[in-house]
């Protein structure tokens, strides 16, 4: 599949539907690797979602059960809805993050200082959020909100 924003390489065993710049993939019961080039928007719906590596997208939407994201992140918006979500990323940017679900474990280490504010909204039951800030960024530049039950939220300075 080659869209206006880049290439997506999909194993032939995965069923797919294509409509304009939308690519829908159906892979049941097996593990598949999908390699995406430069995209503006990435939306994934399903069970057992794993995003690993360098993730550079303007907007990411993940909806499902068993969501794992790890690696390097650069985005404007990240929205995750799911049960059993684990996110562990080093982020050069992520201006707005919204995470909704049960059993949510998020670690984000910002790698580059920024001007202005960034926003994290976390709504869930049994949520854990740990944010590391780089030198030159104050806690006032990060706004955390949401409705949480039995949640742990920590903001700490990045270790040298």
Of 93, 110, 104, 107, the residue nearest 67 (C-alpha): 104
Per-residue pLDDT tens digits for 103-146: 889 999 999 999 999 999 988 888 889 999 999 999 999 999 88
The token pair that represents 156 in the structure block: 């700490």
Burial class from Cβ neighbours inside 10 Å (0-12, 13-18, 19+) for residue 79 reads middle
b/e per residue 8-35 (b: at least 16 CB within 10 A) = bebeeeeeeeeeeeebebebeeeeeeee
Check if the beta carbon of residue 18 is closer than 8 Å to that of residue 2: no
Average pLDDT, the chain: 81
User: Which neighbouring-strand residues pair with 90?
Assistant: 72, 109
Q: Percentage of the chain surpassing pLDDT 90? A: 38
84: left (phi over 0), alpha (psi -120 to 50) or beta: left
**Comparing 153 with 104, which gets the higher pLDDT?**
104
Residue linked to tokens 């990435």: 42
């Amino acid at each position: 599949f080659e869209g206006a924003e880049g290439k997506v390489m999909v194993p032939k065993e995965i069923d797919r539907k294509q409509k304009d710049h939308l690519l829908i993939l159906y892979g049941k019961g097996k593990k598949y690797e999908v390699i995406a080039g430069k995209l503006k928007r990435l939306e994934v719906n399903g069970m057992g979602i794993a995003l690993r590596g360098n993730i550079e997208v303007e907007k990411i939407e993940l909806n499902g059960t068993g969501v794992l994201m790890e690696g390097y992140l650069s985005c404007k918006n990240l929205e995750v809805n799911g049960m059993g979500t684990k996110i562990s990323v080093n982020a050069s940017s992520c201006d707005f993050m919204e995470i909704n679900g049960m059993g949510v474990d998020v670690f984000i280490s910002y790698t580059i200082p920024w001007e202005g504010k960034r926003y994290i909204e976390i709504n869930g039951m049994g949520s854990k959020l740990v944010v590391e800030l780089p030198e030159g960024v104050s806690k006032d530049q990060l706004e955390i909100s949401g409705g949480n039950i039995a949640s742990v939220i920590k903001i700490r300075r990045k270790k040298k």
